[in-house]
Chain A
Amino acid sequence: MRLTLLNVIVAVVLAIAFAALNAAYLVWAERRGAARIQRRPGPNINGPFGLLQPPLDGIKLMAKQLTIPGGADKIMFITAPVLAMFPAIMSFVTIPFSDSIVAKNMSVGVLMIFAFASMGSMSLLFAGWSSRNKYSMMSSVRAVSQAVAYEIPMLITAITVVMIAGSTDLMEIVHQQSRSFLHWNIFPLLGNSHNILMPFSFLIFFICTLAETNRAPFDLGEAESELVAGFHTEYGSMGFGLFFMGEYANIVIGSCMTTILFLGGWGCPFGLFPGVWWFILKLYLLIATFIWIRWTFPRTTIYGLLNLSWKILIPLSLFNLLFTAGLIKVF
């Protein structure tokens, strides 16, 4: 596909629309799901099944005034929410939803997405630092240490997949898994890897995605029982809205990456109805699992969180990397 200016604009607009819609309706899905798990009805007043709740919340947020606390670092304070949203939007550009639905496929797709994903923690740092609020500050320190700790096993696992595929091109990674659903990277024996540890690397990757997107049970950045609301304590109006949208956009990106790297992208089991909907189905199943996990487990402690990363996930993923390298060398 030739990269014209029009292409880029259409792609970015579509990405923003997709991210915003997802953010709005994932909030609805999250609230409904949480309510079902806690055996209450959830938002059901505005519109059928409460479906008008997200746009109304959006209008309410937009109608509010954006206040900047006295003593705050103005430029950083305004930049932070933008930085939360921007990498997520950019990542959508290179994610292939099917053979044909991709804004700009890049040969370094994996690298680009992880590069943008690591920018997310910058926004948390900026927000917490510039707010001039001790709770925000604590929160951003936590969020950054968490992001650093979980990026390592995540990247190591991603490298494992990249080594198996021999490419950082997301399209290529999916194509290699497309022969049958037993060739998906998550399955150990028939897959491209013949690596018996692949289900575990899927698990590690999934846990890291949870932690990277600051989702419960790893949402220590906004631990409301200790830190008010964490890094977005001082944000109101659409500043807060952008953080919220960024969080959900990051969840979508993380699920997209899990789908592409481990679940065969848009590949369909048994050759049934091939198309983009398989990607969408896998994507939303993963997101449903995100929501399910959030409303099942209580928040971990900060030590528990870092211990899990440094003592369990990193050694295991490193071992997995070496094991895979050995397998590739031998076979």
Chain B
Amino acid sequence: MVAYFTEIYTGLMSLFIGMGITFKEFFKPTVTVAYPYETLTMSSRYRGHIELVEDEEGNPQCVVCGLCEKACPSDCITLAGEKPEGGKKKVLTKYMLDFTKCSLCGSCVESCSFGAIDFSKEYNLASTKKEDFYFDLLKRLEERKK
């Protein structure tokens, strides 16, 4: 009999405690962001697809060593370069990323000893066409320069 009433009492009290919690939450400010109208800044360690890093003059820092291409476990990266006449270093002519296969593992970024590629903060990537996910990173760099 005593157990019966203590159970009712403790049960009832726990309900009131729960209601107290939601009552407090009711008056706290909202924490969500109205997404299409406002966006959050992505954290510094966010991993989007890779992007070429430019030097001071706006040219890619890449020296076309091809280590990222080799490091990629899914063969996402295809790059090509040529040595201009009279120049010392190779110049990047093509850098294609097949984002349909990329798993954002970051091996390419790790393997690059020149700091020439980095993760972007891009996340609005929805599309209905497969071709939209073959990124020409060199072209993106040119567009960024403009």
Contact = CB atoms under 8 A, between A and B. Distances in A.
Interface stretch (B20-28, B60-68, B85-93, B125-133): B20-28
A36 B26 contact: yes
B22 A292 contact: yes
Contact of B26 (A33, A293, A297): A33
A144 to B, nearest CB: 26
B8 A292 contact: no
A232 B32 CA distance: 32
B84 interface: no
B18 A40 contact: no
Contact of A41 (B15, B26, B30): B30
A295 interface: yes
Given A297-B15, A312-B8, A41 B34 contact: yes
B19 interface: yes
B28 to A, nearest CB: 6
A37 B15 contact: no
The residue in A33, A35, A37, A297 that gathers the most chain B C-beta atoms within 10 A of its C-beta is A37
The residue in B21, B25, B29 that gathers the most chain A C-beta atoms within 10 A of its C-beta is B25
A35 B30 CA distance: 9
Given A39-B31, A41-B34, A312-B8, A296 B18 contact: yes
Interface string A261-296: 000000000000000000000000000000011011
Interface string A24-65: 000000000101111111001000000000000000000000
Main secondary structure of the interface of B (DSSP, over half): helix
A134 to B, nearest CB: 33
A37 B18 CA distance: 12
A292 B32 contact: no
A135 B31 CA distance: 37
Contacts of A44: 34
A186 B41 CA distance: 54
A40 B32 contact: yes
Nearest to B20: A296
A203 to B, nearest CB: 8
B20 to A, nearest CB: 9
A39 B19 contact: no
A292 B24 CA distance: 11
A33 B27 CA distance: 10
Given A297-B15, A297-B18, A37 B30 contact: no
A293 B15 CA distance: 9
Contact of B25 (A37, A293, A297): A37
A37 B34 contact: no
B9 to A, nearest CB: 11
Nearest to A315: B4
B23 A39 contact: no
A39 B18 contact: no
B114 to A, nearest CB: 45
Contacts of B29: 39
Contacts of A37: 22, 25-26
Contact of A293 (B8, B19, B30, B32): B19
B34 to A, nearest CB: 7
Contact of A39 (B8, B21, B28, B34): B28
A295 B21 CA distance: 11
Contacts of B22: 37, 292, 295-296
29 contacts: A33-B26, A35-B30, A36-B25, A36-B26, A36-B27, A36-B30, A37-B22, A37-B26, A38-B25, A39-B28, A39-B29, A39-B31, A40-B30, A40-B31, A40-B32, A41-B30, A41-B32, A292-B19, A292-B22, A292-B23, A292-B26, A293-B19, A295-B22, A296-B18, A296-B19, A296-B21, A296-B22, A297-B15, A312-B8
Interface of B: 8, 15, 18-19, 21-23, 25-32, 34
Given A37-B22, A39-B32, 19 more contacts: A33-B26, A36-B25, A36-B27, A37-B25, A38-B25, A39-B25, A39-B28, A39-B29, A40-B31, A40-B32, A41-B30, A41-B34, A44-B34, A292-B19, A293-B19, A296-B19, A296-B21, A296-B22, A312-B8
